[in-house]
Structure 1
Amino acid sequence: MPIFRPYDTPRDGAPVLAAGGVSRRRLPLNFSEEDLPLFEDALEAAIPQTRLLELEDVGVSPEGMLFKDWRILPESFSSPSIMEQFLDRRRSVLKFLAANYLLRRRRKFGRDCLWIVDDWSAGYFHWLADALSRLYVARDAAKDLVLLLPHRYRQLEFVQSSLKAFAVGSVEYAGAGEVYFCRKLFMPSHVAPSGNYNEEVVRGLREMLVGFYGREGAGSGAGERVYLSRGRAPKRKVSNEGELLDTLREFDFRVVHFEDHPFEEQVRIAAGARVLVSNHGAGLTNILFMNPGGRVLELRRRDERERNWFFNLASATGLEYFYQLCDPENPDEGPHTANLIVDPQLFRENIRLMLAG
């Protein structure tokens, strides 16, 4: 049935906002040949053109799903595979359409809207790397449009703060129980598959945000060496972090918990850092704000081959990338939640190597 297939969003003739191309990445500076399988699939990636799509009479659910003519738009999802998983659950599709066409309160929205999010965009990494990249390429059009966001985004401090850097006509948050039907909706297509980057776009985004917020200790050298701790996070932390503190003190690293800082301070701290060290997690997204030529050490799970997001981001923003492979505290736990055990001696060697250049 058609309702179990995605809406065919028209793209022909849509204006191009950003050119596509091929993103090529060099191997880490401390690369070991035996680790090639971890990186080889990420050394080159095709980056599509970004177009400004224009649609009429589009429905927007309170959760942020787009639909039209009883079909869900593929742009509601961060990837085709996630869309397919949703559409395969036919009962869920029927419940969604019934709720949003028949049961929920409807609101006709007559002003021209801009849409930049998908089902993952409420996360810190995906908001900065994916959603704000889309807003950046559409920034000229955004001046005359209403940026429409799902209701839960109103509660996210990093969303509120980061939008201050953009000249958006206005921002509207959909009501928790309301379905918006937009007369006209403009939507930049995804700038790159999530975890990949259009280098020109992401560098422009960095300059906009850092230019707006500034750099911490600009010209003073303060905070040049930063260790970002996930010690207070409920998952994916370094379980033996205490064993690393002597090395961090020896080499004058500042230990930072980004949850203690609002978004604008996070931008300034990262922008003022020459060297940044952390394990894989949302906080590493802030390497986006570092100056080209800065150095990053990612503590990453030994068997992780798919999530090269920060290796790719370091390359796209002109940073020098180092890595250290770590064993999970619980080998049976998945990469989304497992804590890591960091070899303290190898950690010290990698810190020395990073600072030697």
Structure 2
Amino acid sequence: MAPANALMLSHALVARLTVPIHFNPYHIYCLRNVHVTWDGAVFHNLRLFGPSIVHRRFRSRFQDTLLLRQWLGEKVRVTGTAIAVCHNQWSTENYYHWLIDSLPRLLALRSAYPGIKLLLPQVSDIHPVPEFITTSARLLGFPNQLPLNSQQILNAHSVVMPTLTATSLTQRPELVRQVQQELLAALGMEPTQPFRRIYAARAAGFLRNLRNEPEVEEWLRQEGFEKVYFEELSLLEQVRLMRETEVLLAVHGANMTNMLFLPSTSKVIEIHNKEYGDPCYLRLASCLELEFYICPCTGVDPRLGNQSDVVVDMTLLQAITNLALTKKSKCANFS
């Protein structure tokens, strides 16, 4: 699906955003006598199990002293029952990668291994597993959970690990929609008439900030947008807010995953680094059949690529937002 405002964008940007996606089969592995790190990397003796890491380039993270911790680190031993691992190095704390990468893996796992104990990532022994992880796993049928922190190594007789159901930063539409429907049903969310305009602001210290944010916020306030920090809300609070939202506007980032909970008539506007931004949220909107607008912006530091702060062209943002606000029906796809 192309952005709803594709005619306002360059042909080169639209082409980069709409590269076709191909899906490979996914699998469930049953592994015996293995060690597992808190972030989902699986070892047998000194051999790393490739499908347990995000990319081949991550292999260098799991060498040397980390391998020795299989014998020297704090062990958590599990025998007599299987443990499921459905996360990797990107989904330990990241809202997008947990909801969109890991939850479909839970659906794949559930039909074959209902009730299995689920390993969950815990950054440290001080901080708990993020609430959105524990809650969403429970809602999808996995209340039996085993937290593992970054100082521990799991030693398990039997580990069950579904692979990613789609390459990271892409999504299988049918599984994304199933995750959406099951979470909304489990939380008792009824259809609503959306009325709120939400600006998802990025918390201090995060990447991809708006260098001219005061100017942007002042104009959005005049247009009736509410500024929200999703990081301050529980999963239930985020879902409730999205069910009331007619327009979600955000800088490219994990907060945009909350479009998963928007009504089907809602619209999404992404402030997007035109040189480096990934189209994962356009793809997600396509899975959900949501009207999606791109506001291309300029990064202030090309060395940082997609992690750079950006400057918003106010004239362009106003034109795109006004188009989204005034359009009464879903826009035809441009392809």
- TM-score scaled to structure 1, two decimals? 0.82
Residues 253-299 of structure 1 deviation map (CA, whole Å, 9 limit, x = unaligned): 22222123112111221233222111111111111222334211111
2:24 corresponds to 1:27: no
Partner of 2:122: 151
Q: CA deviation at 1:56?
A: 1.5
Contact 2:194–2:266 (8 Å) recurs in 1: no
Partner of 2:319: 349
Instruction: Select the residue among 298, 315, 320 that pairs with 2:286.
Output: 315
Flag the 1:178–1:227 CA change in 2: closer, same or farther, 3 A.
closer
Q: Which has the higher contact order (CA 8 A, sep 6+)?
A: 2
2:66 corresponds to 1:66: no
> RMSD across aligned C-alpha pairs, in angstroms?
2.4
Counterpart CA distance in 2 for 1:212 and 1:313 is 21
2:142 corresponds to 1:162: no
Partner of 2:332: none
- Comparing 132-141 and 283-292, the one that deviates more: 132-141
Q: CA deviation at 1:197?
A: 0.4
Instruction: Select the residue among 77, 85, 102 that pairs with 1:115.
Output: 85
Deviating beyond 6 angstroms after TM superposition, the runs of 4 or more aligned structure 1 residues are: none
Letter in 2 for 1:194: S
Counterpart CA distance in 2 for 1:335 and 1:187 is 33
Partner of 2:104: 133
Q: CA deviation at 1:200?
A: 0.1
Partner of 2:72: 103
Counterpart CA distance in 2 for 1:179 and 1:295 is 44
Residues 37-61 of structure 1 deviation map (CA, whole Å, 9 limit, x = unaligned): 3343543111122222212112113
Letter in 2 for 1:108: R
Classify the secondary structure of the residue corresponding to 2:305.
coil
Classify the secondary structure of the residue corresponding to 2:10.
helix
2:154 corresponds to 1:180: yes
Classify the secondary structure of the residue corresponding to 2:292.
strand
Contact 1:326–1:343 (8 Å) recurs in 2: yes
Q: CA deviation at 1:191?
A: 0.7
Q: CA deviation at 1:145?
A: 0.8
Letter in 1 for 2:242: A
Gap runs ≥5 in structure 2? 328-335
Instruction: Select the residue among 251, 269, 283 that pairs with 1:279.
Output: 251
Letter in 1 for 2:131: E
Counterpart CA distance in 2 for 1:219 and 1:119 is 36
Counterpart CA distance in 2 for 1:133 and 1:334 is 31
Counterpart CA distance in 2 for 1:34 and 1:344 is 15
Contact 2:3–2:294 (8 Å) recurs in 1: yes
Instruction: Select the residue among 50, 54, 57 that pairs with 1:78.
Output: 54
Classify the secondary structure of the residue corresponding to 1:64.
coil
Q: CA deviation at 1:220?
A: 5.2
Partner of 1:4: none
Partner of 2:13: 38
Flag the 1:167–1:30 CA change in 2: closer, same or farther, 3 A.
same
Partner of 2:27: 51
Counterpart CA distance in 2 for 1:254 and 1:151 is 32
Letter in 2 for 1:249: R
Q: CA deviation at 1:246?
A: 4.4
Q: CA deviation at 1:346?
A: 1.6
- TM-score scaled to structure 2, two decimals? 0.87
Contact 1:79–1:193 (8 Å) recurs in 2: no
Partner of 2:330: none
Letter in 1 for 2:219: T
Instruction: Select the residue among 154, 167, 170 that pairs with 1:193.
Output: 167
Counterpart CA distance in 1 for 2:149 and 2:29 is 24
Counterpart CA distance in 2 for 1:350 and 1:136 is 37
Residues 103-140 of structure 1 deviation map (CA, whole Å, 9 limit, x = unaligned): 22444311111110111111121111111121122233
Letter in 2 for 1:211: A
Q: Tell me the percent identity.
A: 25
